[in-house]
Structure 1
Amino acid sequence: MASPLVFIDGDQGTTGLQIHERLRNRSDIRLLTLPAAERKAPLRRAEAINAADIAILCLPDAAAKEAVAAIENPSVRVIDASSAHRTTAGWVYGFPEMDAGQSQLIAAAKRVTNPGCYPTGAIGLLRPLIQAGLLPRDYPISVHAVSGYSGGGRPAVEQYEGPSAAQALAFQVYGTALAHKHPPEMQRYAGLDHRPIFVPAYGAFRQGIVLTVPLELRLLAPGATGEQLHAALGSHYADSKHVRVISLEESKTLTHLNPQALNDTNDMQLGVFINEEHGHVLLSAVFDNLGKGASGAAVQNLDLMLAHA
């Protein structure tokens, strides 16, 4: 019996290249990519996606929707790395650690939507606390995050690595219109009643993310403590292979968070920093925007789906 055929549509983009690199030497799958002359040919792309057992879409949103619309073969399964289907009915959210049964849902799914990089950190922190009854669903959440410039795709990579790299900003906050595409995804899968404020930024490093969420204990569930928040996260991820919650002892000794600490892995490190004097808590997530935030997550979902084939 032939090994499963996996088609990467958009394998020359930032995420697609990383997925291809992670899969190219594997012997348990056959990898289908199109020659440069055929990558933008609608007929050839439609043929390829309909021939695949699993298609991974690394495309702009509009192109991802067109690719899905071109599927006629009912046996084709899809992992969409774009944001086109993240809140679409019928698509399984590809964050295996989100709930106890999420891995099984992904494994059996026909359509899986890969999480956004920033939402991976925000949802990973917030959802377990809401489910534990410690964080009210109507809490006014603010999410602050700094990503490597690869999070901006090929144009940002060219800006920082191309001929004009010397003029690239060392740090830039963007999304100041507060209309970024990620908050609806954060709200839905974290379980929030209201859209969170999201303040993203790029730094002059290629990849990696530090994401933080500040909380005030006085606005949490009555009697909730920072230690309880930490315990809830620790319990949720106790058996996780890829998500680690650092100990409270370790968090007390950390004076900074390095966004590049987990680069080239599919891991995520969560932290809870407590200032009892002021009643403040800072939640943190560190991970690779091209790993757990994109290509690593896609391959993790692929492996779940292959195991169910």
Structure 2
Amino acid sequence: MAHTIFIDGEAGTTGLQIRDRLAGRRDIELLSIDPERRKDAGARAELLNAADAVVLCLPDDASREAVSLISSNSVKVVDASTAYRTAPGWTYGFPEMSRDQRDAVRNATRVSNPGCYPTGFIGLVRPLVAAGLIPADFPVTVNAISGYSGGGKGLIAEFEGQPAPQGTDDAFRAYGFTLAHKHLPEMQIHAGLAHPPVFAPSVGRYAQGMLVEVPLQLWALPGQPTPADLHVALEAAYAGETFVEVASGAECAELQKARAGAANYVAGLDPQALNGTNRMRLFVFGSADGRQARLVALLDNLGKGASGAAVQSLNLMLGLPEDAGL
């Protein structure tokens, strides 16, 4: 018998992607609301309580409202907003985050879907904190660039529209200068840090895909680990995983080789390389003297950073194969 799923907010960027990943599956039956009744609390409540599981693809306040409308104890919830990512009683939907997290997601009734930037950051940093290579109180910086789809319909319209005033000519846009980005709490807590990182996000003129980078002064770390030490720790953390892969030392070394006329360009590290997948690849680049490193995560901000992760958690919660539809 197929599991019934209601996507509240299916018309949004993430909702549409989740629907596409679930459509056509024989083990899933999608429930839909009449478009004219999307703002009807009664109609939404009926579907929210009738489904085996619901996925909320809504702004934070609307997600909180949707959760308040669920009275059934049997309904499983995956929330894609930032409303519950550090909330008690909610499980963080990053199954690869630790050895216990997959079972936590599998047994949960309330799962918060990770943010796209935090997925890359936590994927890189948490194993190193857990291994004692990065102290919990060490000052960490993260730089990242995402496709404009991460900004939702408004930013998509701006980048795909005509130049100002209707659109933008920007090739690159840095933001987050208040140093109070909404992703910081989950980045700090789920990476195991005592302090929030300095986060420098940006958007490029391409639709989707992202690179998340953590530069490290290895000489400043207490044990002065080498790039190889970091690589070994990451490989151990993700051994046997389907969707998270650590690039080999040989591949990282090959990527570091200078190309004629482009000595500072790393070929092959395209932020769009994993688009349409639920995969994430992690890289460790080290200086020749081993005193500095750049850790890089490559993922699709709409895949492992959003819709793919939601479907992965949904599969686990419903007792289905984790990679179904992915």
- TM-score clears 0.5: yes
How far apart in 2 are the matches of 1:289 and 1:219?
A: 31
Q: Counterpart of 2:55?
A: 56
- Say whether the 8 Å CA contact 1:108–1:308 is kept in structure 2: no
| Alignment check: 8 A CA contact 1:187 1:196 kept | yes
Q: Structure 1 stretch 251-260 or stretch 93-102: which is displaced more? A: 251-260
Per the alignment, residue 310 of structure 2 pairs with 298
Unpaired runs of 5+ residues, structure 2, are 256-265, 322-326
CA distance in 1, matches of 2:223, 2:15: 46
2:198 aligned with 1:226, yes or no? no
Q: Is 1:240 the counterpart of 2:252 in the alignment?
A: no
CA contact (8 A) 1:133 1:221 kept: no
CA distance 1:213–1:303, shift in 2 (3 Å)? same
The count of residues paired between Structure 1 and Structure 2 equals: 308
Q: How does 1:41-52 map to 2 (within 5 A)?
A: 41-52=40-51
2:275 aligned residue: 263
Counterpart-to-counterpart distance in 2, 1:82 and 1:45: 18
Give the aligned residue type for 2:98.
Answer: D
Aligned with 2:186: secondary structure?
Answer: helix
Asked if the contact 1:213/1:283 (under 8 Å) is kept, the reply is yes
**Residues 16-53 of structure 1, C-alpha deviations (whole Å, 9 max, x = no match):** 00000111111101101212101111111111101111
SS at match of 1:212: strand
In 2: Cα distance, 1:230 partner to 1:278 partner: 12
The unaligned stretches of length 5 or more in structure 1 are none
Residues 161 and 168 of structure 2 are in contact (CA less than 8 Å); yes or no, is this contact kept in structure 1?
no
Deviation at 1:168, TM superposition (A): 3.3
Return the offset for 1:163: 4.1
| CA root-mean-square deviation | 1.4
Cα deviation code 1:186-221 (max 9, x no counterpart): 000000011111010000000000110000111223
Give the AA of the match of 2:48.
I
Partners of 1:245 and 1:269 within 8 A in 2: yes
Moved more, 161-170 or 93-102: 161-170
Q: CA deviation at 1:278?
A: 6.6
Q: Distance in 2 between matches of 1:120 and 1:167?
A: 28
State how far apart, in whole Å, the 2-side matches of 1:167 and 1:124 are: 33
Q: 1:241 to 1:278 in 2, by over 3 A?
A: closer
From the superposition, tell whether residues 229 and 278 of structure 1 become closer, same or farther in structure 2 (CA, over 3 Å): closer
Q: Verify the 8 A CA contact 2:145 2:203 in the aligned structure 1.
A: yes
TM-score (norm 1): 0.97
Q: Deviations over 1:214-239 (max 9, x none)?
A: 00111223241111100000011111
Residue 195 of structure 1: SS of its match in structure 2? coil
